Amino acid sequence: MSFFGLQQTDLEQDKRKFLESGLHESEDVAVYTWGEDSYDGLGDALQEGGDELNDETFGGSGAVGKDFDFSNPALPEDKRVSHDAPQVKREQSVDKEPHQHQQPSSLRPSQPSRSTAHSLEAIWDDKSPFSVLPRMNSTSRASPAPSAKFSPFASETFSNAGQQSVLHKSNQPQPRVRTLQEIEAEMLQQRSAAQRQQEVLLQQRHHEEEHIRLAQEQELQRQQRIYQQEQQQLQIHRLLQQQREQQQHMRTPPPRMLPVSQSPRFLEHQRQILLLQQQQEQQQQQRLQELQEQLRFEEIERQMVAQMTLQQNPNQYASRRAVPNLTSPENQVLQHQQLQRRQRSQSPVTGSNITPIQDNMSYLPQNIQLQQRLLSEMTQAEYMRDIQGASQAEQEALRAEAMRKIVEAEKMEEKRRRKAAKIAHMARYNDLMTQSDKDFITRIQVSQLVTQDPYADDFYAQVYGAILRSRMGLQSQDERVIKFGSGGGIGLGLAQKGGNRRPNAMQRMEQQVERIVSNARKREEEKGLHSLHSLQGALGKTSGRSYKAAPRQLLQVDASNPSASPTISPAHAHISKSSNINESAAKEAAKLGREALGTAADTDNLVRKEPLTQREVLIILERLYDIVLRVEQLRRDQPLPEDDESSREWQKEYDSLVDELWVELRVMVPLETSHPHPFISLLTPTKGKKILPRLTRHLSSERMLTLLTLLVACFSQLDVIRQASVLDSNEDSREHADVERQTQAFLGSVMQSILPHVSNASLRLVTGLLGLLLDRSNIAAIAQSKPGLALLTLFLSRVEVIKQTSGSELAEIPSSEEQLQWQTMFDHLFELLAPYFIYLFPSTRAPIVVPPGHSNPADIADQPVWQFLAALALHAVIEQHQVLVTSLREKVLDIILSVNKGWVASEEERQTKLANVNLFLHALGLDSSQVAL
Amino acid sequence: MDPSASGIQEPFDLIRLSLSERVFVKLRGDRELTGILHAYDGHMNLILSDVEETIMIVDTEGAPDGQGTVNVAKRRMEMLFVRGDGVILVSPPSRT
């Protein structure tokens, strides 16, 4: 061993030790140090068996021959052997004394000397690999001062007490709980010594205060210890949780996390997995922190309570301060004892053996720091209070304030943590898609949105938006459409309202779309420069529209291609051919009608036809709708007036469409072509009635007059007139409902569309129209229908208006001839209607038995009739008045009687009845109140 | 009118003619509807208003010698969406 630079003397010493140990040289194996204090007792746990043949194997039973005894004679001379020997001998000793292993205590007497002599040199000498073990054992296991370990508090109190005055010396040797007698004895003793100690008191008080502070510090430490203990449990819990969570995580990986090892983004995913794990750890820690905080909170509360007990005495402090000579010693003692008691009672844990675990400390710092800060603040405040003698109320307020602050801080903390956790959770999917992925998807979406006609494809949203805007009074004329020259565009739907994130998103989308489109266009241009479009579309079109293929197409009106639409077909060519033939005749007829000649068109070259079938009507109507939609679209696309070229073009297209519309309407077909007239047939379905207002907007007033004439001439052919009698029945049938629906549609659509033209008509025209009506139809039947009555009222009121304004200069003054014509026509009408006056009332035609308590719907239904009769009365002469009164006398009297007798269900009904009657009577210059019963 | 002239090129064009008209719809499960057709699509999903549904319920139980009695249940609805997969036929109502 000289080459290790160790001294020979060590070896010598060693040898000496071997020899000295005497009893067994094999004791060299004692490197195991079984007998030492630091022996870990593992030897006892050894399982040894199968030793029966050991003796035979090693020849242990007989005397050991010298054959294998290399060590003994070699010891003095051979250094090398001396090193090897212990190994062999150890084995031998094991053989010989197996029991010694199991009874290490028996070795003890011989061991201590060795172990104590365990110097550094001895270790160096020791070649056995095990030689180091006991030392490590001993260092780790050798506990310095066992008492200091588990009751630092106690020891500190000791030291504190030691610093303190004589008075406390009596307490010093008593770390245990003192009995009451002891305390009493002490108190007695102290009282006797009180006089002596007065001079020391000032100093003592100082000490006292320090003591309190120290005690609080101790408590703090104690809390830390409790904390650590709880921490241990928490850690176990945490570990379990972690495991569980990891398993969970393995079960539900986020999308695209699984088989991507070959993907170029694998690394990123790995990073994300790491991130995820970190997040999970964070979450766990957060959960832990929550628990910790809860603990801390409890701790603080406990502390507060402790302080309360402590502060029950500030009065005493104060009094003592005021009169220090009298009560201070007792007080002091009492307080001290109280303090100690409190400390003991509050720290049951300090008694038990707690070994703080280093690992847990890592979780503590911030909490402890916070805790300590809060506590130190509080203790300081308390200290200050003690010194300054603050009032109880102030203290209370301060404490409350402190509590509030703590709670607030914790709430904030909690909030923040929850938010962070949420964000972290959502961030799981961050960066799952690259920017190019997103762009790709946007491109696909945008390509789906691009259409040839953005406005029409977005029609309902656009129209609705326009309606909304006009309703809100906003005058933004822009259509919410992005257009890309001729290439098409994108409908943007409704304008977004509100200042939320949505508008931003929409704006972003718009910008993105514009960028994409402009990029695409640029690329297109470049391609055009380079490749002469030879390969364009070779790989198919990108902007497929397959997604909305079937359902939408059918209702779509493709303005650019008429043949694509099912009903716009070359058919109208052949129709207009036939109508062309008769055009002049029809014109003639209409003209004649308008001239109120009351004669049918000349029948020279009349082609009689079957009336249009239902199916034909429907087909024509579909075609009409197509044209109307196109015209409406055209109106929206009207170019600016400055643009002459396109304006003219537009006007041309518009005119041709309107012409087409006019032809399709078949107004110019001769009157007698069929019964009903084709135009009247077109008005039969609801949609035929409803298209009229949309259509008449585009017709010139000339054409409208023609239409009006035709309508009046063929009024009796209208379905609503023919089937008007259905309404007289009160049964609740489908037919009744249908006719009602048609009638409403007629009044709402057809009458509305002719109203402005009638109300501008001249007296001559009105006379002519009335004449036409009287001539061509059964006026009694017409007057018994709602639409007929409405039309007649319309005529009469128009004439009344003309009469009233005839004095003024603005209206064209009807000639006396015209007035005479009108009077003739009116007389004719009156004459025809006179026998039926009473039957004009729906209530007369179909008397309704109204159960009492219900308002009579007949009154409402009768209202237009009363209006008509009033209008009639206005035009009538005296003799006609008498006819009117005689025929309606009964009806009027009936109503007045029922009103006066109170045979009405409600005030409302009474009012309606009276208003009805008065409407008529006023026209005669009478009033219901004048009628004598 | 010949088909080309009328512009009827596919079956759906016939249904289009009946828009906003009363139609008769036969459905699977012995159901029939009459109502005013407002909209339809390629799946024959329909939107009808003022609908009367007629359900035939054949009651085979308790009837002698296999002769089930047919009960007819009717109900009315303001507005109805009919899923296309149940539609057997759509026709204009028979006119008398």
DSSP secondary structure string for all residues of A107-171: HGGGHHHHHHT--HHHHHH---GGGHHHHHHHHHH--S-HHHHH-HHHHHHHHHHHHS-GGGGGG
Inter-chain residue contact A619 with B20, CB threshold 8 Å: no
Smallest Cα–Cα separation from A589: which of A776, A337, A777, A719?
A776
CA distance B61 to chain A (A): 34
Closest CB to B95: pick one of A554, A567, A614: A614
Q: How confident is the model at residue A783 (pLDDT cuts 50, 70, 90)?
A: confident
Task: Extract long-range pairs of A214-221: CB within 8 Å, 24+ residues apart.
Answer: A214/A156, A214/A160, A215/A339, A215/A343, A216/A375, A216/A379, A218/A153, A218/A156, A218/A157, A218/A343, A219/A303, A219/A306, A219/A343, A219/A346, A219/A347, A220/A371, A220/A372, A220/A375, A221/A152, A221/A153
CA of residue A547 relative to chain centroid, distance: 28
Is the model more confident about A575 or about A695?
A695
CA dist A596 and A282 (Å) reads 95
- Domain B18-85: CATH class, spelled out: mainly beta
Exposure string over A851-877, b if 16+ CB within 10 A, otherwise e: eeeeebebbebbebbbbbbbbbbebbe
CA distance B12 to chain A (A): 8
pLDDT tens column, B58-68: 887 766 666 67
A830, pLDDT greater than 70: yes
User: Which H helix or E strand runs over A482?
Assistant: strand A481-483
Is the model more confident about A610 or about B87?
B87
Inter-chain residue contact A571 with B52, CB threshold 8 Å: no
Mean pLDDT of A415-439: 89
User: Which pLDDT does position A166 carry in this prediction?
Assistant: 44
A498, pLDDT greater than 60: no
Closest CB to B43: pick one of A551, A555, A686: A551
Q: How confident is the model at residue A553 (pLDDT cuts 50, 70, 90)?
A: low
CA distance B13 to chain A (A): 7
CA separation, residue A463 to residues A472, A603, A686, A920 (Å): 14, 47, 23, 44
Q: Mean pLDDT, chain A, as a whole number?
A: 70
Inter-chain residue contact B17 with A551, CB threshold 8 Å: no
- The domains of chain B are located at 18-85
A106, pLDDT greater than 50: no
Mean pLDDT of A843-849: 67
Closest CB to B21: pick one of A552, A569, A685: A685
User: Which pLDDT does position A347 carry in this prediction?
Assistant: 45
Q: Measured between CB atoms, does B9 come within 8 Å of chain A?
A: yes
User: Which pLDDT does position A338 carry in this prediction?
Assistant: 53
Q: Report the 10 Å Cβ neighbour count for A418.
A: 11
Mean pLDDT of A41-58: 70
Residue tagged 């790709």 (tokens)? A440
Q: What angle do CA A815, A817, A821 make, to 5 degrees?
A: 120
Torsion of CA A463, A465, A468, A474, to 10 degrees: -110
CA distance B86 to chain A (A): 17
B96, closest residue in chain A (CA to CA):
A735
User: Which pLDDT does position A535 carry in this prediction?
Assistant: 61
Q: How confident is the model at residue B54 (pLDDT cuts 50, 70, 90)?
A: very high
B87, pLDDT greater than 90: yes
- The domains of chain A are located at 195-227, 614-842
With beta carbons less than 8 A apart as the criterion, state whether A382 and A399 touch.
Answer: no
Percent of residues in chain B assigned helix, strand, coil, to nearest 5: 20, 50, 30
Closest CB to B8: pick one of A549, A566, A614: A566
The lowest-confidence range among A351-355, A669-673, B3-7 is A351-355
Q: Measured between CB atoms, does A551 come within 8 Å of chain B?
A: yes
Candidate ranges A416-430, A802-816, A868-882, A897-911; pick with highest mean pLDDT: A416-430
Where do runs of H (alpha helix) occur along A676-785?
678-682, 686-696, 701-713, 719-722, 734-745, 751-758, 763-776, 779-783
Q: Measured between CB atoms, does A614 come within 8 Å of chain B?
A: yes
Inter-chain residue contact A570 with B8, CB threshold 8 Å: no
Mean pLDDT of A690-703: 89
Closest CB to B17: pick one of A552, A615, A690: A615
Q: Measured between CB atoms, does B32 come within 8 Å of chain A?
A: no
With beta carbons less than 8 A apart as the criterion, state whether A360 and A368 touch.
Answer: no
Q: Which residues of A touch B53 (CB under 8 A)?
A: none
Is the model more confident about A767 or about A127?
A767
Mean pLDDT of A829-854: 74
Candidate ranges A274-278, A429-433, A481-485; pick with highest mean pLDDT: A429-433
With beta carbons less than 8 A apart as the criterion, state whether A213 and A379 touch.
Answer: yes
Smallest Cα–Cα separation from A711: which of A658, A652, A647, A782?
A782
What is residue B23's three-state secondary structure? Answer: strand
A266, pLDDT greater than 80: no
User: What angle, 0 to 180 degrees and rounded to 10, lies between the N-to-C axes of helices A266-311 and A324-346?
Assistant: 140
User: What is the DSSP-derived secondary structure letter of residue A834?
Assistant: G
Phi, psi of B91 (to 5 degrees): -145, 155
Q: Which residues pair with B46 in a beta bridge?
A: B40, B82
Inter-chain residue contact B7 with A622, CB threshold 8 Å: yes
Q: Which residues of A touch B93 (CB under 8 A)?
A: none
Inter-chain residue contact B16 with A566, CB threshold 8 Å: yes
The lowest-confidence range among A56-70, A138-152, A246-260, A430-444 is A138-152
Is the model more confident about A392 or about A136?
A392
User: Which pLDDT does position A669 carry in this prediction?
Assistant: 83
Residues 61-90 of B with CB under 8 A from A: none
**Max CA-CA distance within chain A?**
171
Q: Before B3, cis peptide (omega within 30)?
A: no
Q: Which residues of B touch A561 (CB under 8 A)?
A: none
Q: Which residues pair with B58 in a beta bridge?
A: B70
Is the model more confident about A161 or about A832?
A832
CA dist A465 and A495 (Å) reads 7
User: Which pLDDT does position B59 carry in this prediction?
Assistant: 80
Phi, psi of A753 (to 5 degrees): -80, -25
Inter-chain residue contact B4 with A570, CB threshold 8 Å: yes
User: Which pLDDT does position A813 carry in this prediction?
Assistant: 66
Is the model more confident about A757 or about B94?
A757
Q: How confident is the model at residue A403 (pLDDT cuts 50, 70, 90)?
A: very high
User: Which pLDDT does position A722 carry in this prediction?
Assistant: 86
Q: Which residues pair with B47 in a beta bridge?
A: B39, B81
Mean pLDDT of A891-911: 79
The lowest-confidence range among A568-582, A635-649, B50-64 is A568-582
With beta carbons less than 8 A apart as the criterion, state whether A814 and A763 touch.
Answer: yes
User: Which pLDDT does position A157 carry in this prediction?
Assistant: 44
User: Which pLDDT does position B45 carry in this prediction?
Assistant: 95
Q: Measured between CB atoms, does A689 come within 8 Å of chain B?
A: no
With beta carbons less than 8 A apart as the criterion, state whether A859 and A908 touch.
Answer: no
Phi, psi of A409 (to 5 degrees): -60, -40
Q: How confident is the model at residue B27 (pLDDT cuts 50, 70, 90)?
A: very high
CA separation, residue B2 to residues A341, A578, A678, B5, B8 (Å): 114, 16, 19, 5, 9
The lowest-confidence range among A71-85, A520-534, A912-926 is A71-85
With beta carbons less than 8 A apart as the criterion, state whether A609 and A580 touch.
Answer: no
Strand order across the beta sheet in which B87-91 lies: B69-82, B46-59, B31-40, B22-27, B87-91
A568, closest residue in chain B (CA to CA):
B7
Inter-chain residue contact A618 with B41, CB threshold 8 Å: no
Overall pTM > 0.80: no
Count of alpha carbons within 13 angstroms of residue A527, beta-carbon side: 11
A628, pLDDT greater than 60: yes
Inter-chain residue contact A619 with B21, CB threshold 8 Å: no
Mean pLDDT of A492-501: 53
User: Which pLDDT does position B34 carry in this prediction?
Assistant: 93
CA distance A685 to chain B (A): 7
Inter-chain residue contact A554 with B17, CB threshold 8 Å: no
The lowest-confidence range among A330-334, A354-358, A512-516, B90-94 is A354-358
A218, pLDDT greater than 60: yes
Beta carbon pairs, A and B, within 8 Å? 70
Q: What angle do CA A768, A774, A776 make, to 5 degrees?
A: 100
Mean pLDDT of A743-771: 89
A476, pLDDT greater than 60: no
CA dist A695 and A624 (Å) reads 9
CA dist A676 and A714 (Å) reads 8
CA dist A302 and A294 (Å) reads 12
Residue partners of A661: CB distance under 8 A and separation at least 6: A624, A627, A628, A631, A695, A698, A699
Inter-chain residue contact B20 with A622, CB threshold 8 Å: no
Q: How confident is the model at residue A43 (pLDDT cuts 50, 70, 90)?
A: low
With beta carbons less than 8 A apart as the criterion, state whether A288 and A238 touch.
Answer: yes
CA dist A795 and A712 (Å) reads 11
User: Which pLDDT does position A633 carry in this prediction?
Assistant: 84
CA distance A551 to chain B (A): 4
CA separation, residue A474 to residues A39, A469, A616, A805, B81 (Å): 96, 5, 44, 39, 35
Q: How confident is the model at residue B53 (pLDDT cuts 50, 70, 90)?
A: very high
Q: Which residues pair with A604 in a beta bridge?
A: none
User: Which pLDDT does position A48 carry in this prediction?
Assistant: 67
CA dist A865 and A783 (Å) reads 9
Inter-chain residue contact B5 with A550, CB threshold 8 Å: no
Inter-chain residue contact B12 with A554, CB threshold 8 Å: yes
Q: Measured between CB atoms, does B24 come within 8 Å of chain A?
A: no
With beta carbons less than 8 A apart as the criterion, state whether A33 and A111 touch.
Answer: yes
Phi, psi of A853 (to 5 degrees): 100, -20
Q: Which residues of B touch A459 (CB under 8 A)?
A: none
Q: Which residues of B touch A555 (CB under 8 A)?
A: 39
Best B10, B15, B16, B76 member to test A by mutation, with max A CBs in 10 Å, is B16
A745, pLDDT greater than 80: yes
